[in-house]
A and B are shown apart, each in its own frame.
Chain A
Amino acid sequence: MKSLILIIVTTALINNVVLNQFLGICSFLGVSKQMKASASLGVAVIFVMTIAAAVANLLYTYVLAPFGMDYMKTIIFILVIAALVQIVEMFLKKTSPAIYTALGIYLPLITTNCAVLGVALTNVQNGYSFIESVFAAFGTAVGYTIAIVLLAGIRSRFDEESMPAPLRGAPVVMIAAALMSIAFMGFSDLAF
């Protein structure tokens, strides 16, 4: 149990997926304009990433590894993730239209989110078991949500009018991300 908690803390805070690993930067910079959208995207990422890691782990352990097709993992994983997002989208549309309207527009974005593929591949690289993979993916996604919601909170306080013109838009967001990244470096001293 302790090792699972350790995995969550490590993936969510110490090796934060956006601020330390640089995965999912596109949506991190793009969607963080509004707090509500960021939180919705965060929830969608938690949902998809956890399922994707579980499916990828099962596929790897029971199909790819026994048949010696280890080298096929990139192709298989990206297809599985794309298919999975489609299925989740259709499933939500049928069963809970309310969640679908809240998440719907962000689901296609996730297919190209490199963090989802990155986590599936990292789990294989670390030789995680099924349970460990699911926890690592959940922790990573929570880390992503924390980072994007925090950035959205910071951006909502920006007063672009008072900034020098060249800094407006992307640069100031990057600088905010850099400062957040410095803050998150503090977590690397968390000891267990």
Chain B
Amino acid sequence: MNKYIERLYNGIIKENPTLILMLGMCPTLAVSTQAINGIGMGLSTTAVLVLSNLVISLLRKIIPDQVRLPAYIVIVASLVTVTELLIEAYLPDIYSALGIFIPLIVVNCIILGRAEAYANKHTPGLAVMDGIGMGVGFTIALTLAGCIREILGSGTCFGAQVLPESVEPIGIFVQPPGAFLVIALFIIIMNAIGIKTRQRELVENDCDGCCATCAMTCDHRKEEDK
């Protein structure tokens, strides 16, 4: 049982996809204007991640190695389509708030990254727990970013007034520049308290911060250079 709990801990804290691995920056920056959007996006991604990890883990002995990436993309894209239709039907508010970023879960580096790094080497049970851990870690980070931006930018959190009315909200935080500033602040705090993020590792290896698939390309590039 220990191994399964370890997966959850790994996903939420040790290798938090957003804060430590720096994966899936696009949705993190784009949908964190409100805490509720962060939760919506986080949970949609978690659903896709858990199911894709499960399916890929079940098919890991069947999918030939040479065509594994296209196969993963088809699996993930099908799951995303299902999720998109369900959200459109049952949660229309979230659907219109997240907009284009729901279909774009397909190209979220976390999903292909976990498929490649974990799900295709481990048993279905472990892969599902890995998916839950990573998904919850992503959701927490997104909600945190959303909460901070909402409090600073409109004085509310989950729609409830937090700052007194007399405090003028800093409008820029709910607009695009605020996303960059809040995420930059996160990384500065992580750096300052000495948590080593993968971003730093990549920068140090001269493979400047990028997502899992970019990192694959980067390795490929290094091999070609040799």
In this complex, the member of A25, A109, A177 whose beta carbon has the largest number of chain B beta carbons within 10 angstroms is: A25
In this complex, the member of A21, A22, A166 whose beta carbon has the largest number of chain B beta carbons within 10 angstroms is: A22
0/1 per residue, B85-113, Cβ < 8 Å to A? Answer: 10000000000000010011011110010
- Complex Cα–Cα for A182 and B185 (A): 17
A-B interface pairs (CB < 8 A), number: 140
Question: Chain A at the B interface: mostly helix, strand, loop or mixed?
Answer: helix
The segment out of A4-12, A48-56, A115-123, A138-146 that lies at the interface is: A115-123
- Is there an interface contact between A117 and B106, defined as CB atoms closer than 8 Å? yes
- Is there an interface contact between B191 and A74, defined as CB atoms closer than 8 Å? no
A19 at the interface (CB under 8 A from B): yes
- Is there an interface contact between A23 and B26, defined as CB atoms closer than 8 Å? yes
- Complex Cα–Cα for A25 and B26 (A): 6
- Is there an interface contact between A74 and B80, defined as CB atoms closer than 8 Å? yes
Q: Which residues of A contact B192 (CB under 8 A)?
A: 166
Checking B106, B185, B213, B221 against A105 with a beta-carbon cut-off of 8 angstroms, the contacting residue is B221
Size bracket, chain B contacts: 35 or more
- Complex Cα–Cα for A177 and B26 (A): 13
Q: How many of chain A's residues have a CB under 8 angstroms from any CB in B?
A: 49
Q: Which residues of B contact A66 (CB under 8 A)?
A: none
A87 at the interface (CB under 8 A from B): no
Please judge, given known A-B contacts A82-B70, A112-B107, whether A174 and B187 are in contact too, CB under 8 Å: yes
- Complex Cα–Cα for A154 and B74 (A): 39
Give chain B interface residues in 177-197, CB to chain A under 8 Å: 177-181, 183-185, 187-189, 191-192, 197
- Is there an interface contact between A170 and B103, defined as CB atoms closer than 8 Å? no
Residue of B nearest to A110 (CB): B217
A95 at the interface (CB under 8 A from B): no
Question: Chain B at the A interface: mostly helix, strand, loop or mixed?
Answer: helix
A153 at the interface (CB under 8 A from B): no
B29 at the interface (CB under 8 A from A): yes
Checking A21, A82, A170 against B209 with a beta-carbon cut-off of 8 angstroms, the contacting residue is A170
Please judge, given known A-B contacts A79-B74, A166-B192, A169-B200, whether A174 and B180 are in contact too, CB under 8 Å: yes
- Is there an interface contact between A170 and B210, defined as CB atoms closer than 8 Å? no
CB distance from A114 to the nearest CB of B (A): 4
- Is there an interface contact between A75 and B191, defined as CB atoms closer than 8 Å? no
Checking B30, B100, B177, B187 against A171 with a beta-carbon cut-off of 8 angstroms, the contacting residue is B187
Give chain A interface residues in 99-119, CB to chain B under 8 Å: 105, 108-109, 111-114, 117-118
- Complex Cα–Cα for A168 and B190 (A): 12
B172 at the interface (CB under 8 A from A): yes
- Is there an interface contact between B26 and A167, defined as CB atoms closer than 8 Å? no
- Complex Cα–Cα for A169 and B106 (A): 28
- Complex Cα–Cα for A182 and B29 (A): 15
- Is there an interface contact between B177 and A33, defined as CB atoms closer than 8 Å? no
Residue of B nearest to A107 (CB): B217
B139 at the interface (CB under 8 A from A): no
- Is there an interface contact between A105 and B217, defined as CB atoms closer than 8 Å? yes
Residue of B nearest to A177 (CB): B180
- Is there an interface contact between A170 and B187, defined as CB atoms closer than 8 Å? yes
Q: Which residues of B contact A75 (CB under 8 A)?
A: 74, 77-78, 81
Given contacts A26-B25, A171-B184, 6 further A-B contacts (CB under 8 A): A78-B106, A165-B191, A170-B209, A171-B185, A174-B180, A182-B172
12 A-B pairs with C-beta separation under 8 A: A19-B176, A22-B27, A25-B29, A29-B208, A33-B208, A71-B85, A78-B77, A79-B77, A109-B214, A170-B200, A175-B180, A185-B176
Q: Residues of A with Cβ closer than 8 Å to B?
A: 19-27, 29-31, 33, 71-75, 78-79, 82, 105, 108-109, 111-114, 117-118, 121-122, 125, 165-172, 174-175, 177-179, 181-182, 185
